[in-house]
Structure 1
Amino acid sequence: MIRHFGRLTLKKLDLMDGHEFEYACANILKANGFKDIEVTKGSGDFGVDIIAVKKHRRYAVQCKRYDKKLNNSAVQEVIGGLAYYGCEVGAVMTNSYFTAAARKLAEVNNVELWDRDKLETMLRKRGIKDASRKTDDMSDIPPETYCAQTVEEFFAEQGIAVETAATEFLEDSCELLIEIVPETGVRISDIRNLTQKLANHGGWEYVTCVFPSHTPGTVGLEIPLEMDNSDKE
């Protein structure tokens, strides 16, 4: 049996849609020392998906999840958005690579190109290992710890910060209740609408959103736990 960690890998990035990729990139930038990170609105973004600051320099970042090499249009887009957002540095971040024309245009316009190799380095700095491990490798990790970490990391990838407040085993239903505290401004519907995606991400049959939960101010997530034969006897 393979269990999936809620951690970013190149393979996971390859399977994301454009919107998911933008929030994943924002999460990666945060883990690599960028601050004041803002994901721009989807339409009318003037070629810039993320605004971020590092070492007092304001970056305008274009994110491109792509299956082929990127041509110079992505570079042109971020150049156009630099002045609009008041940024000093432009960058294009992708899970793919760039054509020679794109690299040349970026060089003369001082735009940084973060290709698949750079992305892999950023993921490594973030301490992200392979997305899957055999169950035997996780035998020393309590299920409540594994599930709570997976939940927190999943929502971080969606651009939502949550903190685990408590966990509780529900013996009657053989489920684990994880109570989380979302960041200010997050609606319950935002959490509920992501439960199926969370279940797929964690390799669980389902995830049920419970609100209000037992602890005031928290949102409950009920996750089914597997039982081995000794537990059933």
Structure 2
Amino acid sequence: MSSCVVCDESVAVSDACVHCGAPVCETHRSPEGHDCPGVESDGSWWYTNPDAGRRRTTAADGRELSNPRRIAVGLVAVVAVALAVTAILAVTTGTVGFDEERAESRIVTEVNEVRADRGLSPLTESDSLTVVTRAHSGDMARQGYVGHVAPNGSTPADRLERFGVDCFAAENIYYTEQGGLLVTERTYAERTVQEWLDSPTHRATLLDENATRQGIGLVRADGRIYVTQLVC
């Protein structure tokens, strides 16, 4: 057991912050709750494409691809994160595995739980959409880019067509460079969905009342994790 860095409450190793690795209780788990140094340096990117493969009346508001990449704020923050990484890995490395398919399933569950909390129907996990999302996450990992448009120019709509999926889908992407800090699939899934909820465009995709299906594709490579979600 460890102690919360804010209030000294006893916490499990699995309750470490996914951004900086510090042990934190539930009350102080948000980045704001413990002055997290990792939120400026963890390299997380969020992307959303609300019109990846469909025509929506809401597209008239002119929403564009968003990339609120966090910017590092200085050497002190970087050093603090490095120390936190070393400490948490010393405890967790080799003791807890991270399974990509379990993480995908946890994200699906988290999405449906937040929809249920708001009186919305769950999104059925679609095998065909999952194939498309895994392919895109894998392509981003192999080619080292993050975005809806691949280096060869293919778009989400192109990918849906290539895999024979007849669906007007919206696409969300989440990326982080600190995969080594992840302790459980549940922790990562909760953080991914919460970050999407904190972004208005991602939130609109997750809470689309007309959507019925979703596919989650997660690929982990060299300490980086790429997540693609398609909702239709």
> In which range does the TM-score fall when normalised by the shorter chain?
under 0.3
Higher helix proportion = 2
TM-score (norm 1): 0.26
Q: Which has the higher contact order (CA 8 A, sep 6+)?
A: 2
TM-score (norm 2): 0.26
Higher CA-based Rg: 1
Higher strand proportion = 1
